[in-house]
Structures are given as structure tokens and as C-alpha cells.
Amino acid sequence: MSWWKDGVVYQIYPRSFQDSNGDGIGDLQGIIDRLDYLNDGTEKSLGIDAIWLSPIYPSPMYDFGYDISDYESIDSTFGDLKIFQKLLKEAHKRKIKIIMDLVVNHTSHLHPWFLDSRSSKKSGKRDWYIWKDPVDGKEPNNFLATFGGKAWTFDEKTGQYYYHSFLTEQPDLNWRNPEVKEAIFKMIQFWLDMGVDGFRLDVVNLYYKDAQWRDNPSRIFKGIRPFDRMVHIYDRDQPEMHELLRDLRTLVDKKKDRMTVGEVMMDPPGKVEIPASYYGNNDELHMAFNFAFLYSFWGASNFKKVVDEWEAALGEDNWPNYTLSNHDFRRHITRYHTRKLDMERAKLTALMLLTLRGTPFLYYGEEIGMESERVPKKDLQDPLGITYWPFHPGRDSERKPMCWDGGKNGGFTTGNPWLPLYSEYENRNVKKMQEDPGSLWSFYRDIIHFRKKSKALKDGSIVTGIDSSEKVFYFTRAKGKEKYHIVMNFSSEDTPFNLPEDWIPKKVILDNYEPGIQDRTIVESRDIHLKPCHALLIEG
């Protein structure tokens, strides 16, 4: 099996993982220093197989690296190309793959291509971006920018508007221009040749916009942001995207063992057919993110629906993946918060994420139960929060420094952290939780290592089910003679559960109420008793 199918991917937000030089911002040397934490080849470490790095290229940081001013270098905040190559080498030594973020829907407004493009209508790079004349003295159409305001900015000097899906400082590239494609493919080749194992493609369904620039219709549904009150039919998901992705697949597959995973914005949220369409017939992206869990409420039937719909949408040829948290959304522990059962729920979702059929994507800090916490207005960094405060507090709350220990600044930095620390860092930190075999951290570690040894969990079939009270979501993973049942009580009450008739349970292996790997034979009866938010992995 390819590494990207059976491995566990861990997303690092580089600014927030580990600072090595005391400037309060995480960096590549910091990541190198923590590689053994992620996977030192023994069962003592977490045991992940790949790292996805949010952008580390030179950037003026209007959107913290998602606005790139040079695609073939490293921002000095994080290090340089030499340190990056060292990271690659050190990671590979530990059998950890490196996935880079590829942000090519737009560049920074300070990228030399855009500086050239905006300098004159006659610039050779003019058509590398999207420039349009005013229509009746106004914007060419009604498209809105994701972070607020119109998607068009008027440029006094040349009397035209340019298009930006996000900030004014993030002009969109014109993918209809073959020179753009050529330049970007060349850059991708540069990283492939260096030995990078894969790419996460930022907002991959936005590259092409309607060829006729028609207005988007509006929606009755009232979202907080005007952007959410628009039906996005003309500013994304254009048919041209598929041909481009087939060409990209050909390029990437020329090298052995490389992968692509795309971020697909879903409209409406949760519609899994949209990301599924970007797999093509296993000839476009290797994977597209399924963000349905990010939008679904807690509950056995809600969660089962996500899995069933995704499995159905992908069909036989395409490989699933699951995500509970990332740098753009409230962390799942916070979304599913209940005062008393936080840890039980966090363990339940960990067991689910790491045993579903497909690639699990973890977000740094979820293994220690870091919560999203509102950052005070004076400390806000994220432009999204600044624009929509107080209605949308922005994404700083899920980008807080990793908590390594209970000491000063949680072991993240000796300087002033760029974002305030998670308030519970003295209780929830790596050091403390590693010492406790019953902690959330230990539970993640135990599942990951158990999964490594199981063909059924990595590569087996999946059959899902729900009990008649709709409180218990369960599924079975099987390959050859190996079989596991995962049982999850989503209710906050004690719940009786009658094992399905065709199960022949041997023993309980993992239990979110007990530390460590279990070896408990189920003998009493087929009626088992589940505690609130109880989760079990049962050998069948």
C-alpha cells in the first residue's frame, strides 16, 4: 500500500509548533528538534507517518504564509533552504514523509510576478493575473472576497480592477494563461526533485472562474458574512479544473510515491460529492479533503451519515480521508465540548478517526486536547478575525502555540509567543500527558501503533451500523481473517448495547475509559453496557 493510504498525517502550523531561536515564532529547526516526538521509530513516540507543513515560503504574512512572494525559497522567519533540506533528511531518516502546502490560486501582491503585472497594461505579466475594465464605473461583477469586501480591487495606476478570492494582498493567478501553468508546474518539479513527498493544494476548486464572469445568485439562508449569503456557482468548481488536475497528476506520478491532497471549499458545507469529484477516476487528485465532520453536529447518526455518504460518493477506486480539525476551523474538542465528558469525547473521536477506512489527518495539539480559545481583540493576528470581529473571532484561537510542558510558555519559546498560550497548558501538555498511560496523548499513541500492525484497520473493508436508539454508531473493519468492531456511544448517558448477531467478539482491545491496550474477553453476554461517550475497539 502507498504511504499516503495507510499512514497517519500530522498537520503542523509552523509558526506555532516549536520556536528554536527565541523570537516567539515557530521555525524549521524547532520542527527538526521535535521529530523524535512525532516518530522516533519506537512505540514510545506518537508514531505518525507524514507531516503536512502549512506554508513556509517567503511571504509578507498578510495571511500568514498563504500569500507567497517567492515559491522556490523559505521565509527567513522559518529558516532557509538548507535547513529545509536538513528537515527533509532528518524526517526521511525517521520514515516521516513531508507534504508541502501549495498555494497557487493566488500569490502575494508583493510577488515579483504581480509587481510586474500591475506596473503597466503592457507588462508581459499583465495577463498572469485577472484584470478587468470597470463596468458602468463599477466592479465587473458581484463576486465577494472570502475575508470580507468585494473580490475586485481597483488599481488607480492602470485604471482596471484585479481579482482576489481572499485579501486584496492575495491577487488570483489567471489559470487560463498557459504561461502561468508552465511556471507553476516548473516550481512543482523543483520541490519534487528536492525530494518532497507530496502537496496539499490550497483552495484547489477556486483556480478557474466562470469564463463569462456571470454574477453569483444570492441565497435566502442568512450567513454571518455576506460571502455566505451568495451561491458560489460561478466563482469555483468550473469544469476546466479537471483537465488541469489530470495534467498535474501525470507530472507528480512521474516520480515514485508522491501524492496530492486538495482543499476543496464546499458549497453548501458538507456536500461531499464536490470533493469526491476532484479525484476523477483516480486520475486527478490522489485525495481531496472531506471536511464534512467539520460541519456536522455531535451525534451517532450525523457521524454515520458523513461516513456513508463519503464512501458512496467516492466509489471503489478512490481513497477516503478524514479530518476533524485544521488551522481554519474551531478545534473539534471545542466544537463537541461538554463540560464533563470532554476527554471521553476526544478519545472517542480519536478512535474513530484512526480506525475509519481512509487516511487520517491530525492537527497538531489535538493529541493533547488543546482547545480553541477566543483571543482578545488586542492580540488578534488573523485578518479574518480582524474584519469580522466580534461576529467571527478569526482563526487565531486554533493556531495557539503547542504546549510541550508546564514550564514558561509551555516550552514553546524562550521569548514572547506570537499568540497567547492555551490557558490550560499546565494540565494539558505533552510532558505531563506522556507520563499518564490513561491520558488522551497515550490513547492516540496506542491506537496509532495498534493500527500500524493491523491490515484490517489500514486496508480492510468497512461496514457501518447504528443501534435502534440511534445513540451508538459502530463499524466493522475486516481483511482476510482479521476483523475489528469499533463501537461508539455518542450519548452522555449509560446506554445498553446489544452486539449485532453476526459478531463473534473475542476481546476488547481499546477502551476510552481504561489506560493502555486491553486484553479483556467479552464473555458475560451479548448485551453490553456502555458508559457515557464510551468507545471500544473489539476484536472480532
Looking at the Cβ atoms of 173 and 537, the one nearer to ligand GLC is: 173
Considering only residues 309 through 368, tell me which ones interact with ligand GLC, judged by CB under 6 A. 327-328
User: Is residue 66 near ligand GLC by the rule CB under 6 A?
Assistant: yes
Considering only residues 27 through 46, tell me which ones interact with Ca ion, judged by CB under 5 A. 27
* Residue 27 interacts with which of ligand GLC, Ca ion, none, CB < 5 to 8 Å by class: Ca ion
DSSP string, 21-39: SSSSS--HHHHHHTHHHH-
Q: How many residues bind Ca ion (CB under 5 A)?
A: 5
Cα distances from 206 to residues 10, 217, 230, 285, in angstroms, run 25, 17, 15, 15
User: Is residue 289 near ligand GLC by the rule CB under 6 A?
Assistant: no
**Integer Cα distance of 364 and 355 in angstroms:** 19
Nearest 5°: CA angle at 273, between 271 and 274? 80
**Integer Cα distance of 341 and 356 in angstroms:** 22
User: Is residue 63 near ligand GLC by the rule CB under 6 A?
Assistant: yes
Beta bridge partners of 287: 261
Looking at the Cβ atoms of 188 and 203, the one nearer to ligand GLC is: 203
- Strands 152-155 and 198-201 come out as unpaired
Q: Out of 202, 267, 373, 398, which one is annotated catalytic?
A: 202
* Residue 446 interacts with which of Ca ion, ligand GLC, none, CB < 5 to 8 Å by class: none
* Residue 467 interacts with which of Ca ion, ligand GLC, none, CB < 5 to 8 Å by class: none
Cβ neighbors of 300 (< 8 A, separation 6 or more) are 466, 467, 470, 471, 472, 473, 488, 489, 490, 491
- Name the percent of the chain in helix, strand, coil, to the closest 5: 30, 15, 55
CB of 95 vs ligand GLC, minimal distance in Å:
27
User: Is residue 203 near ligand GLC by the rule CB under 6 A?
Assistant: yes
Question: Pick from 8, 9, 12, 25: which binds Ca ion (CB under 5 A)?
Answer: 25
Question: Pick from 169, 197, 202, 371: which binds ligand GLC (CB under 6 A)?
Answer: 202
Looking at the Cβ atoms of 128 and 166, the one nearer to ligand GLC is: 166
User: Is residue 21 near Ca ion by the rule CB under 5 A?
Assistant: yes
Stretch that binds Ca ion, among 11-19, 92-100, 181-189, 200-208 (CB under 5 A): 11-19
**Integer Cα distance of 2 and 241 in angstroms:** 25
Nearest to 539 by CA among 458, 454, 470: 454
Question: Pick from 46, 103, 130, 230: which binds ligand GLC (CB under 6 A)?
Answer: 103
Looking at the Cβ atoms of 285 and 419, the one nearer to Ca ion is: 419
State the cell numbers at 220.
435566502
* Residue 25 interacts with which of ligand GLC, Ca ion, none, CB < 5 to 8 Å by class: Ca ion
* Residue 123 interacts with which of Ca ion, ligand GLC, none, CB < 5 to 8 Å by class: none
Please tell me the total number of residues recorded for the chain in this structure. Answer: 540
**Integer Cα distance of 476 and 243 in angstroms:** 37
Strand locations in 480-519 (E): 482-489, 495-498, 507-511
Cis peptide before 226 (omega within 30 of 0): no
Residue nearest to ligand GLC (CB): 66
Residue nearest to Ca ion (CB): 27
* Residue 63 interacts with which of ligand GLC, Ca ion, none, CB < 5 to 8 Å by class: ligand GLC
User: Is residue 139 near ligand GLC by the rule CB under 6 A?
Assistant: no
Helices and strands per DSSP (H, E), number in the chain: 16, 19
Instruction: Please say if 202 is a catalytic residue.
Output: yes
* Residue 328 interacts with which of ligand GLC, Ca ion, none, CB < 5 to 8 Å by class: ligand GLC
Question: Pick from 62, 152, 166, 329: which binds ligand GLC (CB under 6 A)?
Answer: 166
CB of 521 vs ligand GLC, minimal distance in Å:
46
**Integer Cα distance of 43 and 66 in angstroms:** 35
- C-alpha count within 13 angstroms, C-beta hemisphere, residue 422: 31
Question: Pick from 9, 10, 17, 19: which binds Ca ion (CB under 5 A)?
Answer: 19
CB distance 128 to 174 below 8 Å: yes
Q: Out of 19, 263, 467, 539, which one is annotated catalytic?
A: 263
- Strands 259-262 and 287-288 come out as parallel
Q: Indicate the burial class of 493 (C-beta count within 10 angstroms; 0-12, 13-18, 19 or more).
A: exposed
* Residue 23 interacts with which of Ca ion, ligand GLC, none, CB < 5 to 8 Å by class: Ca ion
* Residue 169 interacts with which of Ca ion, ligand GLC, none, CB < 5 to 8 Å by class: none
Looking at the Cβ atoms of 90 and 424, the one nearer to Ca ion is: 90
User: Is residue 228 near ligand GLC by the rule CB under 6 A?
Assistant: no
**Integer Cα distance of 95 and 113 in angstroms:** 37
CB of 47 vs ligand GLC, minimal distance in Å:
26
Q: Indicate the burial class of 212 (C-beta count within 10 angstroms; 0-12, 13-18, 19 or more).
A: exposed
CB of 118 vs Ca ion, minimal distance in Å:
32
Looking at the Cβ atoms of 19 and 539, the one nearer to Ca ion is: 19
DSSP state of 201: E
User: Is residue 419 near Ca ion by the rule CB under 5 A?
Assistant: no
Q: How many residues bind ligand GLC (CB under 6 A)?
A: 9
Looking at the Cβ atoms of 25 and 384, the one nearer to Ca ion is: 25
Q: Indicate the burial class of 480 (C-beta count within 10 angstroms; 0-12, 13-18, 19 or more).
A: exposed
Residues lying near Ca ion in the complex (CB under 5 A) are found at 19, 21, 23, 25, 27
Residues noted as catalytic: 202, 263
Residues lying near ligand GLC in the complex (CB under 6 A) are found at 63, 66, 103, 166, 202-203, 263, 327-328
